[in-house]
Amino acid sequence: MNASLPASQRFIIHVLDNTHLFVQPNVEQMIRSAISEFRDQNSYEKPA
């Protein structure tokens, strides 16, 4: 997501490790929405 944006609009400030990032504060809701969509698509549904 971040890599597809122009350099002036990238939101990752610094990668701390494999699970933590510093990001621009104004993109928090966009990131939370993207995570929520991913979780919805990545859920297991037991076959009927």
pLDDT digits (tens, 9 = 90+) for 6-18: 888 889 999 999 9
Q: Is the pTM of this model over 0.75?
A: no
pLDDT confidence band for 22 (50 / 70 / 90): very high
Q: How many structural domains is the chain composed of?
A: 1
For CA atoms 22, 42, 3, 33, give the dihedral sign. Answer: negative
Structure tokens belonging to residue 4: 């597809």
Question: Residue 28: which region, alpha, beta or left (left: phi > 0; alpha: psi -120 to 50)?
Answer: alpha
- Residue 37 belongs to what domain range? 7-41
pLDDT confidence band for 19 (50 / 70 / 90): very high
Let me know if residue 2 belongs to a domain: no
Let me know if residue 29 belongs to a domain: yes
Q: Are 11 and 2 in contact (CB under 8 A)?
A: yes
Is the per-residue pLDDT at 1 higher than 80?
A: no
SS3 of residue 21 by DSSP: strand
Average pLDDT, stretch 15-39? 93
What is the C-alpha to C-alpha distance for residues 1 and 3, in angstroms, rounded to an integer? Answer: 6
Average pLDDT, stretch 25-30? 91
